[in-house]
A and B are shown apart, each in its own frame.
Chain A
Amino acid sequence: MTHNHGDGPSHDHDHDHDHDHTGGMSHLGEMDARVRALESLLVEKGYVQSESIDQLIEIYETQIGPKNGAHVVAKSWTDPEFADWLHRDANAAIHSLGYTSRQGEHMQAVFNSDDTHHLVVCTLCSCYPWSVLGLPPTWYKSPPFRSKAVIDPRGVLSDFGLNLPETTSVEVHDSTAETRYLVIPQRPEKTENWSVEQLAALVTRNAMIGTATVDGPL
């Protein structure tokens, strides 16, 4: 297993960041802190439980759907020039489709092939590129998922029902504040004449973080 610690190309800091890197310390967005304030007080006073809030978010997160990211993936399947651009400069390629990240992160696209399957783990939930992928799954933030993904990525994938051939190696990427990853899954078979919209509808969030592949038509 190759463990890529997200040392992507360096980028300038002129663009709009809503986090900073002051002394390597964390920073919460204005609204993040405000919501946390209300929730933590309500929890302490016993009016609500964090777990039950998370559970409800989980019901909605799959509904929200990573439509932006799915469009990027489908476009890369149908347009080799775009795929090449996405490979070289994911930020610019994604931006060209009208998706701007409010998080100001450096995005890197990693392409699955028969030889290599990419899996993204996150060491911090705020590193998740939600502007491209929609809301993160709640299990994604859990310490067991993260540690197991690093130690035994094949085991994690098989927990998700994804059993890769022995000949496919698994590359694990740590999402960081500097670099966040978008997995470009392989285009499924029997979709030769499909439109970008039809293809995008096949792409799930889990496929774009590498815990699933994209199924074609039966």
Chain B
Amino acid sequence: MSKSELQPDLTSLPDIVLDDGEPVFDAPWEAQAFAMTVRLFENGLFTWNEWASSLSAEIHGGIEREYYRHWLCALEKLVAEKQIMSLSDIDSRERAWHDAAARTPHGEPIEL
């Protein structure tokens, strides 16, 4: 499987930083958010245009954030719009992960 088959049109996304056509990440979670979006698109959950406008709306929504924070917010909203889950579902799952971390001794995999 070549990269071009996997890769949707990144240049259509607003403000994205690309290095030689590749996305640039500052932390592992950013790559995770990116990869999740691409897979959901490939699985037909939304079109690339839908994603680009969701991201654009988030970026131009008047809140200053790092790029991939916008990205994740946009993805959450799009997933909520598709009625897959609500934002409060994500909030409670987020707390569950923090709780799971707090009961996991350091060095062991964190599981829910």
The finding on whether chains A and B are genuine partners in a shared complex, rather than unrelated, reads yes
Are the CB atoms of A53 and B25 closer together than 8 Å?
no
If A38-B75, A56-B6, A61-B31 touch, whether A27 touches B36 (CB-CB below 8 Å) is: no
If A26-B110, A60-B25, A177-B106 touch, whether A36 touches B85 (CB-CB below 8 Å) is: no
A47 within 8 A of B: yes
A3 within 8 A of B: no
A1 within 8 A of B: no
Residues on B with beta carbons closer than 8 Å to the beta carbon of A57: 31-32, 35
B38 within 8 A of A: yes
Please tell me which one of the listed residues B3, B39, B91, B102 contacts residue A48 in the complex, with CB atoms under 8 A apart.
Answer: B39
Are the CB atoms of B25 and A135 closer together than 8 Å?
yes
Q: Report the nearest B residue to A24, measured CB to CB.
A: B106
Number of interface residues of A (CB under 8 A): 42
A145 within 8 A of B: no
Q: Report the nearest B residue to A38, measured CB to CB.
A: B90
Please tell me which one of the listed residues B33, B45, B96 contacts residue A47 in the complex, with CB atoms under 8 A apart.
Answer: B45
Are the CB atoms of B85 and A35 closer together than 8 Å?
no
Are the CB atoms of B101 and A48 closer together than 8 Å?
no
Q: Report the nearest B residue to A46, measured CB to CB.
A: B43
Majority-rule SS of B interface residues: helix
A185 CB to closest chain B CB (Å) equals 23
B46 CB to closest chain A CB (Å) equals 11
Please tell me which one of the listed residues A21, A25, A35, A61 contacts residue B102 in the complex, with CB atoms under 8 A apart.
Answer: A25
How far, in whole Å, are A37 and B94 apart by their CA atoms in the complex? 5
Q: Using an 8 Å CB-CB cutoff, how does the interface string of A5-30 with B read, 1 for contact, 0 for none?
A: 00000000000000001001111110
Q: Using an 8 Å CB-CB cutoff, how does the interface string of B68-80 with A read, 1 for contact, 0 for none?
A: 0100100110010
A218 within 8 A of B: no
Are the CB atoms of A176 and B25 closer together than 8 Å?
no
Q: Report the nearest A residue to B19, measured CB to CB.
A: A63
Are the CB atoms of B101 and A34 closer together than 8 Å?
no
Pairs across A and B, CB under 8 Å, 23 listed? A24-B106, A31-B69, A34-B72, A35-B72, A36-B94, A38-B72, A39-B32, A40-B93, A40-B112, A42-B40, A47-B84, A53-B35, A56-B38, A57-B32, A60-B31, A60-B34, A61-B31, A63-B19, A63-B20, A102-B27, A123-B107, A124-B107, A177-B106
Which residues in A have some Cβ–Cβ distance to B below 8 Å?
21, 24-29, 31-42, 45, 47-49, 52-54, 56-57, 59-61, 63-64, 102, 123-125, 130, 135-136, 176-177
